[in-house]
A and B are shown apart, each in its own frame.
Chain A
Amino acid sequence: MLEYALLAGFLFGLYFSLVGLGLNLMFGVMRIVNLAHGDFLMLGGFTAYWLFTLFHINPVVSVLIAFVGFTVIGAPMYYLGAWRLATTKDPEMLSLILFFGLSQVIEAAATVAFGASQYSIPGVVLGAEPWHVFGQTFPASWMISGIASLVFIALLYVYLYRTRLGYLTRAVMASRDEALSTGINVHFVSSIAFGLSLGLAAVAGVFAPFMLGSILPSMGASLNITAFAVIVVGALGEPLGTVLGGIIYGIGLMLMQTYFSSWANLLPYLLLILILLVKPTGLLGKKVRRA
């Protein structure tokens, strides 16, 4: 029982890290709080759903389509308006309200297009045989989702720490003004980060039908709180912190569901408030946050 909760918590933790990863990247680079993150995630989920029902494309393939598609569409979106925010005096608060408006627009459009009902993809498309790990049995869809999350975490890590563009991205994270004065093309770096952030949200969305049970147009709002809790537990702008936050969250959630199931829904909210009040810089925090 305990081993099962811990291992399942670890799997879900990897997945929740993926959910928070894009939000964290965008915040780190642009100080933008993307309240529409959960809604982009939802759109990613619907992309996978329609690719599967219309063309019988396996979600594992959809991951690549969704990631590339959302990144390519997302990067130019930065130039539409986000750059203005990043250069204003209080980008955090303005972006909060702006992206809140965007999330309402996306949710409304999705409700008009898909209706208010729930959609799901049968878990067996990721493998019918359950996997046996450390003496416990998990559905294949959970394992695949966990592994895919790990792959994307690793890819982001390689991007940030092993490529030239990644170095520049981290320079902008550290100080936007200094990066600008050393001749870095801040807008280009930011737009790539913006695109990648949406791409990561879409990837998390592709696995949402398996990890969260189903997808529906109004799922974005509560996912935002979860994603925010995850990135706040770790540290803002630090991918490793998000992984730590995700795993703490996942294991906490599974333990709550196993032992106090009716209280489990309280977890993300309490965790978020506690961390913000007790250790506002996050567990791995550098001093990047004004809270």
Chain B
Amino acid sequence: MLLIVAPVTLAFALLPFIYNNQLLLFNFVVFLTLAQGINVIYGFTGYLPFGYVGFFGAGAYGFSLMVIHLHARPLTALLVAALAALALAVILTPLLRLEGPYFAIASLAASEAVNQLVSNPNLTEITRGPYGISLSGVFAPNFAYGIAIAILAFTLGAVIFLRNSHFGLALQAVRDDAVSAGMAGINVVRERVLAWLLSALIAGLIGGVDAWYISVFYPETVFDPGVSIFAIVFALFGGTATVVGPILGVAILYGIYNTIGITTPQYFQFIYGTLIMGLVMFLPNGMVSLFRRWGLNVP
């Protein structure tokens, strides 16, 4: 398992010394983490949260409001970012009663509701409303980048744990057939809620670091539904419920995005829209299912 965590972490730790676009590397780390977060909840429980970005935004705002109002140190604020995302996840736990598309759409609605709440002009005193956040006081890109890598390593570790532990197996059993899993003595509700909280925690942490790193942003930046969509597409493209799938997805698709997508995002949108349709039709288990077909064991 160290064979995956160590090279990825090391690569991102060393790359800034030979490649000077740190923002781009940072974004890679963010999307690797988010894609793995989607992997935790969708790959292992089958719940597809279109509103995953809600936790990311909650983390970003949890971090920022601590810094702005209480002048907290960044690491303390990061703890609050995690708590904010966890609190939102706890509030949204009843959504897990819904199935499939209802859950997906309800979670999207929930993240949009939080977005509207945060950007409401009546709450400008507290959240800065639609005018956005500026955190120039704690700006420390190198430190933030390091913490982001640590969070990525934690996330990868969590997914590897899910792949190899009793808990992860229980989750997959629940995903495939909740009734039978319940009969076999698995506490269905508890396992699902734990996975839900874990994926929210991951998004909240990386959201907090993202706020810290970019330091100037607006509600629509950190609650952009496009962020969840990217994370979902990357995870699906690579293959969920594996460790390497989402990494592959981010490396390939986000790589393509950064070469052709930035200048003409519509063309990239067109390409990944087509990709999703092709995947559902012909390769519903993602890229890794190709390797499996060739007889390779995919971690």
Contacts and interface: CB of A to CB of B under 8 A. Distances in A.
Interface string A10-31: 0000000000000000000000
A228 B98 CA distance: 15
A92 B276 contact: no
Contacts of A105: 269-270, 273-274, 277
B198 interface: no
23 contacts: A84-B281, A92-B100, A92-B101, A94-B284, A97-B236, A97-B276, A97-B279, A101-B274, A104-B272, A108-B267, A108-B269, A111-B269, A112-B267, A225-B109, A232-B102, A266-B117, A269-B110, A269-B113, A272-B105, A272-B109, A273-B109, A277-B95, A289-B102
Given A94-B280, A98-B281, A277-B97, A291 B270 contact: no
B280 A98 contact: yes
Contacts of A263: 120, 122
Contacts of B273: 101-108
Interface in B86-127: 94-95, 97-102, 104-106, 108-110, 112-113, 116-117, 120-122
B113 A270 contact: yes
A101 B102 CA distance: 18
B36 to A, nearest CB: 19
Closest 8 CB pairs of A and B: A101-B276, A104-B273, A105-B273, A108-B269, A108-B270, A269-B113, A101-B277, A269-B109
Contact of A273 (B106, B117, B269): B106
A3 B279 CA distance: 51
Interface residues on B, range: 35 or more
Given A97-B280, A268-B109, A108 B266 contact: yes
Contacts of A57: none
A136 to B, nearest CB: 28
Nearest to B113: A269
A115 to B, nearest CB: 10
Given A96-B100, A269-B112, A273-B109, A262 B120 contact: yes
B275 interface: yes
A269 B116 contact: yes
Of the candidates B102, B116, B270, the one having the most CB atoms from chain A within 10 angstroms of its own CB is B102
Given A269-B113, A270-B113, A225 B100 contact: no
Contacts of A225: 105, 108-109, 112
B48 interface: yes
Nearest to A263: B120
Interface string A264-284: 011011101100110010000
A273 B113 contact: yes
Interface string A24-48: 0000000001000000000000000
Contacts, number: 116
Contacts of A222: 112
Of the candidates B116, B280, B284, the one having the most CB atoms from chain A within 10 angstroms of its own CB is B280
A228 B238 CA distance: 29
B144 to A, nearest CB: 31
A104 B270 contact: yes
Interface in A199-236: 221-222, 225, 228-229, 232
Contacts of B225: 221
A96 B48 contact: yes
A81 B112 contact: no
A158 interface: no
A104 B269 contact: yes
